Homo-oligomer: A and B are copies of this chain.
Amino acid sequence: MKQQKIKIGILGYGNIGRGVEIALRNSEDMELVGIFTRRDPLIIKSVYCKNIYSVNELEKWQDKIDVLILCGGSATDLPIQGPKYIKMFNTVDSFDTHSNIPKYYAEMNEKALANEKVGIISIGWDPGLFSLNRLLDNAFLSNGKTYTFWGEGVSQGHSDAIRRIEGVVDAVQFTIPVVESVEKVRSGTNPDLTTREKHTRECYVAVKDGYDKGIIEKEIKEMPSYFAEYDTFVHFVSLEEVKEKRGAMPHGGFVIHSAKTGINNEHKQLMEFSLNLDSNPEFTASIMVAFARAAYRLALKKDYGAKTIFDIPLKLLVAKSEEEVIKELL
């Protein structure tokens, strides 16, 4: 008897949604049953999926979708969509507004339990894989210090902030770890680093004719929380150059933990997890697809509620039997 495939729905067809569509091609135990969009389904150019529907039809799909992957953003989409759709579907999302996660978790957990659903939240690489490494660091060597560096890569939020400035046509912002600080951390000296010492910000900006570049540059560099606390470099380039720089949205970063063990704390111990990604959204999407497999399996076991990466036995992520996992991966 052929095993039933896990039926996946995609909500929201931006960079992440498209990444999920692509990642599902490599997942033989899953099938994509439909992409749901707030836009007119007829104008969506998908990679291969022909089943594109209006989000308004989603309610009717409750029996036909095992896991709905929420591909919207954390600012405005997920706070509405998460609590709405967890009542109807098992979900996976990438909610990443760190300070609001406890509130979002509580709301998702309550509704998931009430409706016997599984909602895996805050999945991706940060929060997500980086969180997992921070947890392991803390678990094993709790007397050490954990450093998270992001980049070199495109920060969507910072690029958006520049684009909101009057006169800017397009912009892309690269977050870059300060090499000297990274080396200091890797040397095991556990330095105290200021915001400025950890990352620099490089901005590639295309402006409309007639606007004063000096004023725009000043506005960027003095923008509070986004740029004022950093060494920020602004490069005025053409619209084409901005697009080229953006590429597939490369990103990456590393979590480094530096601690000491021994009778007199005489032994340095260094743990590091790093990512170097040509495409941030496609990688994030690949992670979400694996967690959709876990959501399906948790639901089968009636282990309902909101879950984070910390709650899930990680064997649930792979399309392998218990025996294969032990034999091939342990």
Contact = CB atoms under 8 A, between A and B. Distances in A.
Contact of A105 (B101, B315, B326): B326
B329 A131 contact: yes
Contacts of A159: none
Contacts of A262: 22, 248, 278-279, 282
A267 B290 contact: no
A314 interface: yes
Contact of A278 (B143, B269, B319, B320): B269
A141 to B, nearest CB: 6
Given A135-B329, A326-B102, A261 B22 contact: yes
A26 interface: yes
Given A267-B248, A310-B329, A311-B313, A140 B279 contact: no
B140 A286 contact: yes
A26 B143 contact: yes
Chain A interface size, under 10 / 10 to 19 / 20 to 34 / 35 or more: 35 or more
Given A47-B263, A276-B270, A101 B136 contact: no
A266 to B, nearest CB: 8
A268 interface: yes
Given A135-B318, A325-B310, A286 B141 contact: yes
B269 A282 contact: yes
Given A101-B326, A102-B327, 7 more contacts: A129-B271, A131-B330, A142-B318, A252-B270, A261-B282, A261-B283, A272-B274
Interface of A: 19, 22-23, 26-27, 47, 98, 101-102, 105, 122, 127, 129, 131-136, 138-143, 248, 252, 261-263, 266-279, 282-283, 286-287, 290, 293, 308-315, 317-320, 323, 325-327, 329-330
12 contacts: A22-B261, A22-B262, A26-B142, A105-B326, A131-B329, A262-B282, A268-B276, A269-B275, A269-B277, A269-B286, A272-B272, A308-B330
